[in-house]
């Protein structure tokens, strides 16, 4: 039986009692977020709390989280993409991700506190990574 969009509970750092996922890659990323020492809390962005305007419609990232590393806090955006959906230049996911990157870059440039970080990772990398920091290292697009 498919667990797609079936709420799953038992999280240590999830903002909600339960969170639902569209695919195994998202679920794997949630497990990594939940076990990461740097992560204070994470929010499954479904229903949508954060969306960013792009030329190809809104970018609605899969996760929003707050992390603290070496005493500094930051807000983070994490998007997990199936390889099939990460098409060539000019494709909707690419246009959206590029715009989201521009959004985060602008926020970083404006010295907003806490600063924001951003990463798009592929599903296969979410399944392969053993820690959240390793997953961020695999990002196909990111701003630290």
Partner 1 sequence: MRLRSYALDSAHERVVAAAKFRVPQRAAFDATHRIIKALDSDIPSLPQERLIQQLRELNLLVPYSPPDLVFELATGVGKTKLMGALIAYLFGGNQTRNCLILASRTAILDKLERECLPGSPKYLFIDAALVSEPSLCFRSNLESFRPHPNSLNVVLLSPQTITGGDRRFSRPSDFGPSLEAYLKSVRDLIVFTDEAHHLPGAGSEEASAWREAVRGLGPRLHFGFTATPVSEPGSNIIYSYNLAQCLRDGLYTKAVKMWVEPVPESVSEEEWDRVTLEFGLHRLNAKRAALQEYCASHPEVGFVEPVMLINARDKVHADEIAAWLKERRGFGEEEIYATHSGKTKTEDEIKQLVAIDGPDNKIRVVVNVFQLTEGWDVTNVYVVVPLRAMATFQNAIQSMGRGLRLPAGRRVGDPEVDTLDVLCFGKETFEQIVKDATAQFGSGPEGSATISIEPAVVGEVEMGPLRPIVIKARVSVSFEVPSVTRIPPEPILDFAIATVTKDLHGYVAGIDLVSLERTGSDKDALQHDLESVVREATQKVIADLKYLSAAEHAAAVAALVRRLLTDLGASSKSPIAVDPLKVAIFVGEEIDKRYKQQAAVFKVEGSPRVVRPGEYRWPLAEQFKGPIERIPVDDWQ
Distance CA 63, CA 79 (A): 6
Identify whether the C-beta of residue 20 lies closer than 8 Å to the C-beta of residue 46: yes
Q: Provide the terminal-to-terminal Cα distance of the chain, rounded to the nearest Å.
A: 38
Least distance to partner 1, CB of residue 114, Å: 9
- Of the residues 47, 70, 88, 130, which one makes contact with partner 1 according to CB under 8 A: 47
**24 interacts with partner 1 by CB under 8 A:** yes
**66 interacts with partner 1 by CB under 8 A:** yes
Instruction: Classify 98 as helix, strand or coil.
Output: helix
DSSP conformation letters of 128-143: H-SSHHHHHHT-SEEE
**99 interacts with partner 1 by CB under 8 A:** yes
Chain residues in the site for partner 1 (CB under 8 A): 1-11, 14-18, 20-21, 24, 27-28, 31, 41, 43, 47, 49-58, 64, 66, 75, 89-90, 95, 98-99, 102-103, 105-107, 109-110, 112, 116, 127
């Amino acid at each position: 039986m498919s667990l797609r969009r079936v709420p799953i509970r038992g999280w240590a750092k999830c903002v909600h009692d339960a969170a639902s996922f569209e695919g195994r890659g998202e679920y794997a990323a949630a497990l990594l977020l939940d076990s990461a020492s740097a992560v204070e809390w994470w929010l499954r962005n479904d229903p949508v709390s954060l969306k960013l305007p792009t030329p190809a419609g809104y970018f609605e990232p899969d996760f929003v989280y707050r992390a603290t590393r070496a005493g500094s806090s930051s807000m983070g955006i994490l998007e997990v993409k199936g390889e099939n959906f990460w098409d060539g230049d000019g494709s909707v996911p690419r246009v959206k991700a590029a715009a989201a990157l521009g959004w985060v870059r602008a926020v970083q440039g404006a010295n907003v506190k806490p600063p924001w970080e951003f990463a798009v990772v592929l599903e296969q990398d979410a399944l392969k990574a053993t820690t959240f920091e390793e997953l961020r290292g695999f990002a196909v697009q990111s701003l630290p």
